[in-house]
């Protein structure tokens, strides 16, 4: 895989949009991540805490790491000091833990968090309904949190090549974003992200208003889990 060329390709594709690229480096070694970094990439996504914790010290410290996979509350403490964004926040309980661990870590900046909204068929177990996100944001507990900041929403579409269905799901996430923006964040410029679109469907996601596409195999090649 020509990693540098792929990074440049996406840079070119996104340059006239306000959409950014998260390079999803899960299962790939630090050497490959360094190659993408050397080509100018600074946002990287991982889906497992252990893997992220292993890689992070070996790579440049100005990488903005995004956690994009399901996060168990008992693992927040391992990433709280350095994580830039947790895209996969799916409960108030998890958000409370992130807030607590961020405070303990003595960070100079809050942890950016995105609410994961379920937009797909059953197959994705994680994520909240948009109404649950509303309830979370209405809660007093959330309103007292000082060490996190909600920057937007994230969704994983159904694994299908049915374009109409994909488009519907992306529109559903965009509508949820708009609703939350209007109700809770109309004065906050930091609530601005709609993270949707992967290697197979990023063009559709971009058309429907994605501000962050998460691309793995389209940059690093296919993943070999059996290595």
Instruction: Give residues in contact with ligand PLP (CB under 6 A).
Output: 24, 26, 47, 68-69, 156, 198-200, 214-218
For the record, the structure tokens of 181 come out as 């923006």
34 vs 199, beta carbon nearer ligand PLP = 199
101 vs 214, beta carbon nearer ligand PLP = 214
Cβ within 8 Å of residue 60, ≥6 positions away: 34, 37
- Residue identified by tokens 């996104």 is 14
3-state class of 168 per DSSP?
helix
67 vs 76, beta carbon nearer ligand PLP = 67
Residues 195 and 113: their CA atoms lie apart, in Å, by: 12
Q: Which residue is nearest to ligand PLP (CB)?
A: 216
73 vs 217, beta carbon nearer ligand PLP = 217
Handedness of CA 18, 189, 191, 51 (dihedral sign): positive
- Residue 168 beta carbon to ligand PLP: minimum distance, rounded to whole angstroms: 19
- Residue 146 beta carbon to ligand PLP: minimum distance, rounded to whole angstroms: 28
- Residue 201 beta carbon to ligand PLP: minimum distance, rounded to whole angstroms: 9
- Residue 38 beta carbon to ligand PLP: minimum distance, rounded to whole angstroms: 21
- Give residue 53's region: left, alpha or beta (phi > 0; psi -120 to 50): alpha
What single-letter DSSP state applies at residue 110?
A: P
């Amino acid at each position: 895989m020509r990693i540098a060329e792929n990074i440049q390709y996406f840079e070119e594709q996104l340059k006239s949009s306000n959409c950014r690229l998260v390079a999803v480096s899960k299962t790939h070694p630090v050497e490959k991540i360094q190659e993408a970094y050397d080509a100018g990439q600074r946002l990287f996504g991982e889906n497992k805490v252990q893997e992220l914790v292993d890689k992070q010290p070996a790579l440049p410290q100005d990488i903005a790491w995004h956690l994009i996979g399901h996060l168990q509350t008992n693992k927040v403490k391992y990433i709280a000091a350095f994580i830039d964004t947790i895209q996969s926040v799916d409960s108030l309980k998890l958000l409370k833990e992130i807030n607590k661990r961020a405070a303990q870590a003595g960070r100079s900046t809050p942890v950016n968090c995105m609410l994961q909204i379920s937009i797909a068929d059953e197959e994705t177990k994680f994520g909240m309904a948009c109404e649950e996100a509303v309830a979370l944001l209405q809660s007093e507990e959330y309103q007292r949190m000082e060490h996190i900041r909600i920057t937007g929403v994230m969704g994983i579409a159904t694994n299908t090549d049915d374009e109409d269905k994909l488009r519907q799901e992306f529109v559903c996430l965009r509508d949820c974003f708009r609703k939350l923006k209007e109700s809770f964040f109309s004065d906050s410029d930091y609530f601005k992200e709609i993270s949707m679109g992967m290697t197979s469907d990023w063009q559709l996601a971009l058309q429907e208003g994605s501000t962050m596409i998460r691309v793995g195999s389209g940059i690093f090649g296919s993943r070999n889990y059996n290595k």
